[in-house]
Every structure is written in structure tokens, then in C-alpha cells.
Chain A
Amino acid sequence: MTDAALTTPTRGAARTRQEGLEARLKVRRASEARFILYGRLAIVIALAFLVVLLGRIVAQGWTTFIDYEVTVPVYVDPARVDVADIGGANFDMLVAQSIMKKLAIQDDDLGENLGKVMELSSNDLGFQLLKQVKADHSLIGKTVTVTGPVKADAGLYFKGEIKRSTPPDARKLNDLQLDWLDRLKKTGAVSSGFNFDFLTKSDSTEPEQAGVLGAVVGSFMMLLVTAALAIPIGVMAAVYLEEFAPKNRWSDLIEVNINNLAAVPSIVYGLLGLAVFINWLGVPRSSPLVGGLVLALMAMPTVIIATRSSLKAVPPSIRDAALAIGASRTQAVFHHVLPLALPGVMTGAILSLAHALGETAPLLMIGMISFVPGVPESITQSATVLPVQVFIWENASERAFHERTAGAIIVLLAFMILMNLAAIILRRRFERRW
């Protein structure tokens, strides 16, 4: 009897049944194929959204990471710089005058051209000059070469954002200034490179000098506070609720409430932070400490839920084995159950921290929207965080800040990806088979 004969009976009733089965099988296979198609379609759509979103952000922000610098040999005119009061001298004017000399620009009586030239280079060059002359008085009367960024709008011109085609009234730089910029570039005084300043400097009123360092350090400090509070308290609470608490109406009530807390809108936590931490307990406003406290409250329910489900996933045979050898409940949990649940706990903790990193609304309420020009040195000093920095720059009037908004978002996303990678790597490393 061959295989074909086994599956395709030839006799009467069996044959009809077989044909019926085959027909229905066709329908089943078709619906299966449709389902697979829908699944693939859903994934494609989701990925498409992601690609479009990320693509837009990267397209808008990648130019942030390029900066244009101008090198100017500045003559430190002794007539303008008084040794006794170096700080009082107008170094920006000296820089502008040197540029005019280089380009052989004549000035009129009103000194308008000087003013226009000063709009081309950043006052960072003036700062550098000030520092150098203060350190070495002998530089007065000599020519010092300084390199610094061009001013924000000039940078936008070089990157192609400000075009000659727009009518001169609608743009920040007039045709004359654009000519001067082109000539500067032709002389080789302008160089472009990776904008390290963006990552090493803090916020500033001048867009070309604004960087994310202050926000990054602020975010980092705040995450430290959040982690230090949310993770130990959350894990311990979950261990108690899962392993030790008697299962009665009270523990059910607590479980429902914790699940609800995880769903509360984040801005409510901001209000809570404002009312309790700042107004009542007097924690310094806008500090990483109060930001960390508020976000710890937000992250805790997530940590508790993730830890509980990891503990539930540990097979009861391990607990039984530990108890049967004479381990106390605490020993059974901490020596056996928790180590096995560790991968899930760590993933939950890191993901809740990554979530906290991107929170903006509650932090706005507790005052982290203020302009913070420096890097915070302790958790009680004023600070800002990356998402709030993005918010501040987006609302700024200067056009150059908008480019930096997208750049800051890229930095933020890079952090998120790093944290998620860390979660995956740590999970793999600690996973134990049982």
C-alpha cells in the first residue's frame, strides 16, 4: 500500500469525506495566508512611521553637528586696550576691525559697516582674546590669531538655510554681509568641522555657542537620584508583596492601586512635586534632586509591576526545594528566587529609567524650564534636562536654535538606544537556565 493510497481513499463515503476535508483545508490555508499578510502589513506600516519620524529628525538635526569656524589675526590695538582695565576693552570690536582689514572694507562715518561685520563672528572670539590678553599682558600691541565659530546666522548661510533668493527684508543678513562671508570663505579663513562644542558646552543665549552638556549632566544626575530611590524601594516592595504578604483583600487593594499609579498622567506627579517637595518640604526648585524625586515616584509602579511578574515566572519547584532543605522564607527568596528573577527585574528597572529620561511635563511644573547657562555641580543646584532643553530651544525665537532642537533630540535618542542596549546586554548576561 503506497502513501498516496493511504491519504486518498477511493471508496464511496470515505472519498466524499476526504473531498470535504480538502475543500475546508483550502479555506483554512487561505485565512492563514491572509492573517500573515495583515501581520506583515502592520509591521511595515509601523516601521514606515518610525523611519519617517527618525528620518525627519536626523535630516533636520544632523547639520547641528557641523560648525563653521573663522580664523582671524587680530591686532590688539594698544590705543583701545588699557592695561589697567583689560576687561573694559571692546574685544569684539577689535575682532571686527581685523576682519575689515583682512577684507579691505572701508567704513563710513556712522560706523555702520563695523556693526554689520560684528554680526558675522561670534563673541566667543572676543572672549578668547580677553582671556589670552589677561594672562599675558605682553600681547598688547601684537597680532594674535584666534579661531572661533561664526555667528549663528552666518553659519545658517554656509549650511544653505539662509538663501540669497529670499528677499533681503525677510532674512537676517543683507546681501553685503553675504558677500563678505563668501569672500572670507574664499580666503580660506573659514573652516568646517565636527561640532564638538555642541556636546561640550552648555546652554547659551548665542545659538552658535549653545550646547547640551548642561542638560546631559542634569539628566544624568537626575537619573541617578531616580534610580537610587525607585529601584531599591520598588524591588523590595514587589518582593514583599509577592513572597511575604498574605493574600487577602488588602493585598488585592494594594495591587489595584499600584497598577493605577502606573497609569496616572505624568503632569499630576509634577503638581505633586511642586506642592509637596518644593512648597512644603523646601527642596530647591529646579534641582536634579526634586526632579529625581518626582520621577522616582513615577518610575516606582513600573518597577514594582516588572519585578512582580519576574518573580511570578520563577517555577515554584525552586522555592519548594529551598524550603524543604530548611531555608527560611527570606533565604529562599534572596538566595534562589530573586537571582533567577534578576534578568526581568533589571530589564524593568532600566526601561523605567529610560522612560523617565524622556519625561518633560512633570519637570516643567517643578521649574526646570529656567535658563541654566552652566553645568550643575551638585544635585541641589539649578539644572535642566535634555527633553526640557529641547522644549526651551524649540520655543526660542532665533532660527538657529531650531536646528539645535533636532540635534538635541538626536542626542536624547542616542541615550535611549544606549540604555535599551544596556538592558538587553545585562539581561543576556544574567540569564540562567533552570
Chain B
Amino acid sequence: MQTKLAAAPEDGPMHLSIDRATAAAPVGEIKITAKDVAVFYGEKQALFDVSLDIPGNSVTAFIGPSGCGKSTFLRCINRMNDTITGCRVTGRIELDGGDINDKKIDPVLLRARVGMVFQKPNPFPKSIFENVAYGLRIHGLANKTEMGDIVEASLKRAGLWAEVADRLHQSGSGLSGGQQQRLVIARAIAVSPEVILMDEPCSALDPIATARIEELIDELRSQYCIVIVTHSMAQAARVSQKTAFFHMGKLVEAGRTDEMFTNPRDSRTQDYITGRFG
């Protein structure tokens, strides 16, 4: 943890401190492929022909100024845009080669494979145990005896077990912001997804809690494909292996984190990273 905090302060343009060990870590096979994905809210187009490969067993960061479409694209991956009235998605998104927008695919089952963590922690107003167990219950992934074990394992993995072991049956809403976010992550990993999507998971948290979550993300990447949307370039530099830069609904550039931040190819990327806008 000390290493991360020491790497955090921004030294200035083009000298973004990157945790070389994290940024250069190996990535797995391509997990998610997007081809010419466009999203319309009614008549207004929010995403223009985004094509991107996302590798597994690693962290991919989406960066860009506000309103550039990164959260919209993130929500395409688990088809949460389907729940927004008037939202239309075109193009092809593949998870392990299978088209997720295929008529035969049930979004409910897709979301068991692709979990999501939101910006503002949203635990259910139930007990901590029930929060983590809910996904297991509705997908029938555990019987009564296994339930307790899986809940414990998930909370341990999320780094929350030590703090809540003695109050599993108290309400989840009684936890602090950072604890709630870790609870939400435990809830997501309890159903053993393959992909975890995180939409600005730390923006509502203080720096200490943020550091803990980033550490957790680093631990989880060996097992899951993690996609994180962040408005903090420093965070992207700290946790991700691949970075994609969005601007005004278009994917401007995507590549390995260490290369993107030291040697961006597009001038817009360079401008953003050096702080000229956004």
C-alpha cells in the first residue's frame, strides 16, 4: 500500500507517476470485443462507432472528460442500457465470442456473468449477509449449507470480513461509504462473474478508502476481467493495464497504460493527459 500512495501525487504534465509494475503486468486473452457500437438516446447519438478489445485477467480503464460516453459504453457491456427507455444500441459486442445482444441471450443470465459496481454505493436495505447472498439465491447457486461459506469467502475477498464478521445480520446501510462499496463488490463477486464493471467506484470515497479499493482491484485482476470508468487519470495510471480514451462519444485511442501515458499517439489524448481540457 505504501508504494501506491507514494506513486499517487501528480508530478505534472507528461510525468504522471505510473506504477510500472501494475501498468506493465501481463494480460489474458481477449474477453470482450466491441465492433462499431453506437448508442442513441432517442434522437440524440451518444456513442459513435466504438470498436475495442478488452483483455481478460486485467484491468482496463476508460478515461475521458465528462459526458464523453464512457459510462454509456460501460453499460452496454452488461446491457443495463436496456433498462433505460428510449435507449437504442447498435453494433456488436461479444463476450467470449458470443454476441450478447443476441435475441436468445437473456440479459438476466448475462448479468450473472458480468457484474457491476456503481458510483454511489447501493447496498440493499437488508442485512449484510442478505446483501451478499441475494445473487446466490436468485440464481440458485448455493444451498443453505454452502451459502454461509460463500458469503464469508466473498466478504474476505473483498477485504470486509474482519470488519463485519460479528454483525452480519445488521443492516448494510449502517456501514461507512468505503465499507459499503466493498460490500457491493463482495455482492458482485459472490456469484462468481467473469467480468466486473466499475463505474467510477471511488469518486464518492475519501483517499484512504479509495486506496483500499484500488488495492482490492489490483488483487482481483488475476481472477476477473475488470473494466473501470474513472475521471481520475492518476487512478487509471495506478490500477490499469490497458486504457481507452473517449472524447465526445468517440473512442480516440486505446492501448497499454504505460504507453498511453508516456507516449500517446493522438494529440487529443496528449491534450487531455496534460490537462489542457477535461
Binding site for B on A (CB under 8 A): 246-247, 317-328, 331, 335-336, 340, 432-434
Contact = CB atoms under 8 A, between A and B. Distances in A.
A321 B138 contact: no
Contact of B111 (A247, A326, A432): A326
B118 A433 contact: no
Given A318-B124, A433-B125, A326 B109 contact: yes
Given A432-B125, A433-B125, A323 B111 contact: yes
20 contacts: A246-B85, A247-B85, A318-B122, A320-B80, A321-B124, A323-B80, A324-B78, A324-B118, A325-B188, A326-B111, A326-B112, A326-B139, A327-B134, A327-B138, A328-B108, A331-B138, A335-B138, A336-B124, A432-B125, A433-B171
Nearest to B112: A326
A246 B82 CA distance: 13
A328 B138 CA distance: 9
Contacts of B171: 433
Nearest to B82: A323
A434 B108 contact: no
A141 to B, nearest CB: 77
Contacts of B85: 246-247
Interface centre among A318, A321, A327, A434 (most CB of B within 10 A): A321
B191 A326 contact: yes
Top 4 nearest A-B pairs (CB, nearest first) are A324-B116, A326-B112, A326-B111, A317-B122
B115 A324 contact: yes
Given A320-B118, A322-B124, 8 more contacts: A318-B122, A318-B125, A324-B118, A325-B111, A326-B108, A326-B111, A326-B135, A433-B125
Interface in B100-118: 108-112, 115-116, 118
Contacts of B138: 325-328, 331, 335
Contacts of B184: 321
B111 A324 contact: yes
A321 B80 CA distance: 10
A325 B118 contact: no
Contacts of B120: 317
> Would you call the interface of chain B mostly helix, strand, loop, or mixed?
helix
B182 interface: no
Interface in B225-267: none
B83 interface: yes
Nearest to B190: A325
Interface centre among B110, B120, B124, B171 (most CB of A within 10 A): B124
A319 B83 CA distance: 10
B222 interface: no
A363 B112 CA distance: 54
Interface of B: 78, 80, 83, 85, 108-112, 115-116, 118, 120, 122-125, 134-135, 138-139, 171, 173, 184, 187-188, 191
A434 B173 contact: yes
Interface centre among B108, B110, B135 (most CB of A within 10 A): B108
B173 A325 contact: no
A434 B115 contact: no
Given A321-B118, A434-B173, A340 B125 contact: yes
B140 to A, nearest CB: 11
A193 to B, nearest CB: 53
Nearest to B123: A321
Contacts of B122: 317-318, 320-321
Contacts of B111: 323-326
Contacts of A322: 124, 134
Contacts of A246: 85
B94 to A, nearest CB: 19
B106 to A, nearest CB: 9
B80 A325 contact: no
A246 B171 CA distance: 34
Contacts of A326: 108-112, 135, 138-139, 191
A168 to B, nearest CB: 74
B108 A327 contact: yes
A325 B135 contact: yes
A321 B117 CA distance: 8
A325 B125 contact: no
B112 to A, nearest CB: 4
Contacts of B125: 318, 340, 432-434
B131 to A, nearest CB: 9
Given A317-B118, A317-B120, A336-B124, A325 B191 contact: yes
A317 B138 CA distance: 19
B115 A325 contact: yes
Contacts of A340: 125
Contacts of B83: 319-320, 323
A218 B273 CA distance: 77
A328 B115 CA distance: 14
Contacts of A319: 83
A317 B124 CA distance: 9
Interface centre among A318, A324, A328, A432 (most CB of B within 10 A): A324
B24 to A, nearest CB: 31
A236 B173 CA distance: 29
A192 to B, nearest CB: 57
A246 B134 CA distance: 27
Nearest to A248: B85
Nearest to A325: B135
Contacts of B78: 324
Contacts of A433: 125, 171, 173
Contacts of A335: 134, 138
A331 B123 CA distance: 16
Contacts of B118: 317, 320-321, 324
Contacts of B173: 433-434
Contacts of B139: 326
A336 B85 CA distance: 21
Contacts of B188: 324-325
A84 B99 CA distance: 97
B181 to A, nearest CB: 12
Contacts of A328: 108, 138
A92 B110 CA distance: 86
A334 to B, nearest CB: 11
B110 to A, nearest CB: 8
B199 to A, nearest CB: 10
A324 B114 CA distance: 8
B252 to A, nearest CB: 28
A46 B125 CA distance: 40
